[in-house]
Amino acid sequence: MVLQILLLVGLVLFSVLAILVKDLLKAAISLAVASLLLGIIFFRMNAPYAGVFEISVVAGLITVLFMLTIALTKGGDAVESKAASFAFPAFFVVFIVIDAIIMKKLIQKVPALPGPEEAGTFGQVLWNARTLDLVGQIAVIFAGVFAVLALFRKGDNKDE
């Protein structure tokens, strides 16, 4: 449990770092490390499939896409307002305090029904119980692919 809390704190830390750091490349790497920590957290929560996906896709694929964009837009320096970066710690601490108080008060206040126990293997759950999700995934992948194709098409008819 203690290790879990340390990992969670690390996750938050690297996410905050990713937001406050000026250099975009370092920010992308920081986000990737945060994803890695989240993947480990998932493993320890008995969710190996989610952990694998998180590490390989979010820490891997999305980070690669980020770096590709950073490379293609060289020259766009991160011009940030200093005020926002300095103000952040103050807001952050205030928020954490409020959050902790609210969460403590809510413990035991949220009723819950016992849900169905998990049945079958992960494959069965994904293919049988949540089949419509797969249709949706195919649709969203199509949408992404066609969107990228459309947004990067060769401009052959530009008259507006």
- How many residues contact other proteins, by CB under 8 A? 100
Q: How many other C-beta atoms lie within 10 A of the C-beta of residue 58?
A: 17
CB of 15 to other proteins, least distance (A): 5
Type and span of the H or E element at 92:
helix 82-106
CB of 140 to other proteins, least distance (A): 5
Q: How far apart are CA 143 and CA 135, in angstroms?
A: 12
Q: State how far the alpha carbon of 24 is from the alpha carbons of 56, 88, 147, 159, in Å.
A: 21, 18, 25, 36
CB of 123 to other proteins, least distance (A): 10
CB of 132 to other proteins, least distance (A): 5
CB of 3 to other proteins, least distance (A): 13
Closest C-alpha among 21, 24, 37 to residue 67: 24
Contacts 24+ apart (CB under 8 A), 78-81: 78/22, 78/23, 78/24, 78/27, 80/22
Residues 77-106 that bind other proteins (CB under 8 A): 78-81, 84, 87-88, 91-92, 95-96, 99-100, 103-104, 106
Query: For other proteins, which residue of 6, 33, 66, 89 counts as binding (CB under 8 A)?
Result: 66
43 binds other proteins (CB under 8 A): no
Query: For other proteins, which residue of 6, 49, 89, 97 counts as binding (CB under 8 A)?
Result: 49
Residues 106-145 that bind other proteins (CB under 8 A): 106-107, 109-118, 120-122, 125-133, 135-144
28 binds other proteins (CB under 8 A): yes
